[in-house]
Structure 1
Amino acid sequence: MMTSFFDQFMSPTLMGISLLTIALVIPWLFFPAPTSRWLNNRLLTLQNWSIGKFILQLMAPINLGGHKWALPLTALMLMLLSINMLGLLPYTQTPTTQLSMNLGLAVPLWLATVLIGMRNQPTVALGHLLPEGTPLLLIPALVIIETISLFIRPLALGVRLTANLTAGHLLIQLLSTATFVMTSVLPPVAIFTATVLLLLTVLEVAVAMIQAYVFVLLMSLYLQENV
């Protein structure tokens, strides 16, 4: 039994063993497996078409050297999208509401883009710390500010994803609790809250999709600056 609304974000355990790994693996089982036939079914055709359009849009502004990132970024998008969507179902757990997991995804990828920029074009990478035409007196302050901005990027990525999903889940939990309580006390109010809950659920589905896309899009922008 839940004693707090935040209990829904705790990692599920069975006999003291965390089930977070299962929550990360199960969404991949819902994707249709490719076949060796000339003609695929409609679901697989739609999946391949969607992935192709996504890769085309994501890689269009990036130089040719960064196109090797198409596979990991697409896999990251599919993982975040499936986890966020399945986390809206009853009796499930959303791993992306854990800040530690989101930072575990954001920090290594961000660090990889920075190291690529430092290795391939160190002058351009360091030039991002100081805008062109800066007065001499402002150079030390701007270098410090831009350095802090650079290192805060992965934190912003992780916090953004965590905060949006956590807020949506909390609102759904609050409204569902209010609907359950008001059903026997004030039925008209319960009908209103149920309607708002339905609309909020639709909005949360859109948020789950948008936040997965925004996470990968920002990562591609960081990659674009360093290739």
Structure 2
Amino acid sequence: MTMNLFDQFMSPQMLGIPLIIIALAAPTMLIYTKPRLVPNRTTMIQTWLMLTFTKQLMLPLNKPGHAWSLPLVTIMTFILTMNLLGLLPYTFTPTTQLSLNMGLAVPFWLATVLMGLRNTPSNSLAHMLPPGTPLLLIPILIIIETISLLIRPLALGVRLTANLTAGHLLMTLISTATMTLAQFSNTIALLTATLLVLLTILEIAVAVIQAYVFTLLLSLYLQENT
């Protein structure tokens, strides 16, 4: 019977408990550290990474946008941890589900838009029409910019889902090919196994980059509305 490669993206169950619940709760359990008067090395590294990322993320934003530092860093850490945990054997990656990614993208995008319309409505609406636009092109450009605005959360969710899904499919295909070729030629199987190791390293980089890109795009949307 031919295996369906997309079965790996269905949430499995263990003892009647969906693994997606455990996968969503794992980042919180791993990141939490016990309060200490004197921080250890792990806490110092976490603090340094968070401060460096926050400083870089908040640099192009003005002062009202700095209030978003905690939500943006939280969503970055949450997505990054889920992406990396999903690369471990016998685990499940929640960020390969479009429904979850859209559930993260739509509320954050909508919050930036509503905040811009409430605090700086003129600046937010000014992005809908570039200055110096000919009179005849004004209705067309407004429609195009409106569609572009509405499609942003879809682009956020689909980008994250597509990149992680493609990487997991490639890893599954190459690992299956390695197991099959091992029965015929050990040399070719060793080459495919080496390719699988390199692809795994690439997937680790993709997991980090996609979490960063997701948060960076949210900060850019926030920059337009503050």
Residue of structure 2 in register with 1:115 after alignment: 114
Q: 1 CA distance for matches of 2:15 and 2:92?
A: 17
Residue of structure 1 in register with 2:124 after alignment: 125
CA offset digits 1:156-181 (Å, max 9, x no partner): 00000000000000000000000001
Residue of structure 2 in register with 1:30 after alignment: 30
Alpha carbons 2:86, 2:92 under 8 Å: kept: yes
State yes or no: 1:66 paired with 2:53.
no
Q: 2 CA distance for matches of 1:117 and 1:172?
A: 42
Q: 2 CA distance for matches of 1:205 and 1:160?
A: 16
Query: Which residue type is aligned with residue 10 of structure 2?
Result: M
Alpha carbons 1:96, 1:102 under 8 Å: kept: yes
State yes or no: 1:135 paired with 2:134.
yes
Question: Offset of 1:34 from its aligned partner?
Answer: 4.4
Q: 2 CA distance for matches of 1:42 and 1:16?
A: 38
State yes or no: 1:164 paired with 2:163.
yes
Query: Which residue type is aligned with residue 167 of structure 1?
Result: A
Residue of structure 1 in register with 2:222 after alignment: 223
Question: Offset of 1:26 from its aligned partner?
Answer: 1.4
State yes or no: 1:97 paired with 2:82.
no
Question: Offset of 1:32 from its aligned partner?
Answer: 4.9
Question: Offset of 1:19 from its aligned partner?
Answer: 3.3
Alpha carbons 2:19, 2:92 under 8 Å: kept: no
What number of residue pairs does the alignment pair up? 226
CA offset digits 1:124-159 (Å, max 9, x no partner): 111111111111111111111000000000000000
Q: 2 CA distance for matches of 1:226 and 1:34?
A: 37
Query: Which residue type is aligned with residue 181 of structure 2?
Result: M
Residue of structure 2 in register with 1:203 after alignment: 202
SS at match of 1:133: coil
Provide closer, same or farther for how the CA distance between residues 8 and 77 of structure 1 changes in structure 2, counting only shifts above 3 A.
same
Residue of structure 1 in register with 2:7 after alignment: 7
SS at match of 2:218: helix
Question: Offset of 1:43 from its aligned partner?
Answer: 1.1
Q: 2 CA distance for matches of 1:135 and 1:217?
A: 33
Q: 2 CA distance for matches of 1:47 and 1:58?
A: 16
Question: What does 1:78-97 align with in structure 2 at a 5 Å threshold?
Answer: 78-97=77-96
Alpha carbons 1:32, 1:44 under 8 Å: kept: no
Residue identity over aligned pairs, in percent, reads 61
Provide closer, same or farther for how the CA distance between residues 207 and 94 of structure 1 changes in structure 2, counting only shifts above 3 A.
same
Residue of structure 1 in register with 2:21 after alignment: 21
CA offset digits 1:43-67 (Å, max 9, x no partner): 1100000000011000111111011
CA offset digits 1:5-45 (Å, max 9, x no partner): 101100123466533222100122222514231x3111110
SS at match of 1:184: coil
Alpha carbons 1:66, 1:223 under 8 Å: kept: yes
Provide closer, same or farther for how the CA distance between residues 2 and 63 of structure 1 changes in structure 2, counting only shifts above 3 A.
farther
Query: Which residue type is aligned with residue 159 of structure 2?
Result: R
Normalising by structure 1, report the TM-score. 0.96
Query: Structure 1: 5+ residue runs without aligned partners?
Result: none
Residue of structure 2 in register with 1:175 after alignment: 174
Runs of 4+ aligned structure 1 residues displaced above 4 Å come to 14-17
Alpha carbons 1:34, 1:44 under 8 Å: kept: no
Query: Which residue type is aligned with residue 41 of structure 1?
Result: N
Deviates more, 1:20-29 or 1:81-90: 20-29
Alpha carbons 2:109, 2:221 under 8 Å: kept: yes
Alpha carbons 2:97, 2:161 under 8 Å: kept: yes
Q: 2 CA distance for matches of 1:45 and 1:32?
A: 13
